[in-house]
Amino acid sequence: MPQLDNKTFVIVGGTTGLGLSAARAFVAAGAKVVVVGRNSENVEAATTALGQAGRGLTGDATQPQTAVEAIDLAKREFGTFDGLYHVAGGSGRRMGDGPLHEVSDEGWASTIELNLTSVFHSNRAALKAFTALGQAGTILNMTSVLGQSPSPKYFATHAYAAAKAAIIGLTKSTAAHYASQNIRVNAIAPALVDTPMSERAKGDDAIMNFIKAKQPLDGGRIGDPADLNGAATLLMSDAAKFITGQVLAVDGGWSVSEGS
């Protein structure tokens, strides 16, 4: 695993699931981390689990100041800020997302705010910090295979897909603009992973049978949060210092499989 010694990262959405798994991996590789989450109990539990290398901040990723405060906390507690990993987001199904002709105005606005506007806020805060410090840095965004490889039958949430596709555009355009400043911006695109967001899918036998063919690697299974840790650690590390503007699918073969 690439090493992250002497680096300090902010993980927005880092107190549960994919974010907490990454935080543990980053710390194991030598980094210090500030994890951000909406639930204060989760923040406290994550901070305790990370030990002296972790700090926590309770905040809403859709609010502009949350990432700013997290970056300030990283600099204050650990003396540096080297990178940001944005994981926060989620399904808009309960808010009114779905097939486009059924998407409510509220469902669209809420899903875009949760999944795209939050990334805008965190990425802007990180880029302002790197620019003010006059230093290199790295940003890693969480998108989804649904932004590039849709599943019309089982995963028809079109506001969510639009937001995740937009994250790819934002990642690539900012990577191009800031490359001359040695600031790298990349994204990871997972498929179905075992997190609280996947509860609906995990409880549906038809979807689970679909996943066996759609994600055929390792016996055809739903992903585990730890499956993303290697890619995230690599892209946040100096081993990836010549990589920017890339979207890495960590999807068990989803994007190259037909499913059934």
What structural domains does the chain harbor?
A: 8-195+224-251 (3.40.50.720)
Residue tagged active-site, from 85, 154, 160, 178: 160
Hey, CA dihedral for 125, 129, 134, 136, is it positive or negative? negative
- CA proximity to 162, closest of 94, 232, 92, 223: 92
d(CA 260, CA 157): 19
Strands (E), 7-53: 8-12, 32-37
DSSP 182: T
Give the side-chain half-sphere CA count within 13 A for 133.
19
Task: Give the Cβ contact number of residue 250 at 10 Å.
Answer: 18
The residue type at 63: Q
First-to-final CA distance of the chain: 35
59-98: per-residue pLDDT in tens? 999 999 999 999 999 999 999 999 999 999 999 999 999 9
d(CA 9, CA 201): 32
Residue 63 vs residues 59, 94, 118: alpha-carbon distances, Å: 8, 21, 7
Q: Identify any residues that bridge with 108 across adjacent strands, giving them in sequence order.
A: none
The residue type at 249: A
The residue type at 17: G
Strand order across the 247-250 sheet: 54-58, 32-37, 8-12, 83-86, 137-142, 183-190, 247-250
30-69: per-residue pLDDT in tens? 999 999 999 999 999 999 999 999 999 999 999 999 999 9
191-243: per-residue pLDDT in tens? 999 988 888 888 989 999 999 999 999 999 999 999 999 999 999 999 999 99
Cβ atoms of residues 147 and 164 within 8 Å: yes
Tokens of 77: 């507690």
Hey, CA dihedral for 68, 235, 54, 143, is it positive or negative? positive
Q: Identify any residues that bridge with 239 across adjacent strands, giving them in sequence order.
A: none
d(CA 131, CA 206): 49
Query: Is the pLDDT score of 141 beyond 80?
Result: yes
Q: What is the pTM of this model?
A: 0.97
- CA proximity to 71, closest of 161, 132, 10: 10
85 is catalytic: no
- What is residue 246's three-state secondary structure? coil
Mean pLDDT computed over every residue of the chain: 96
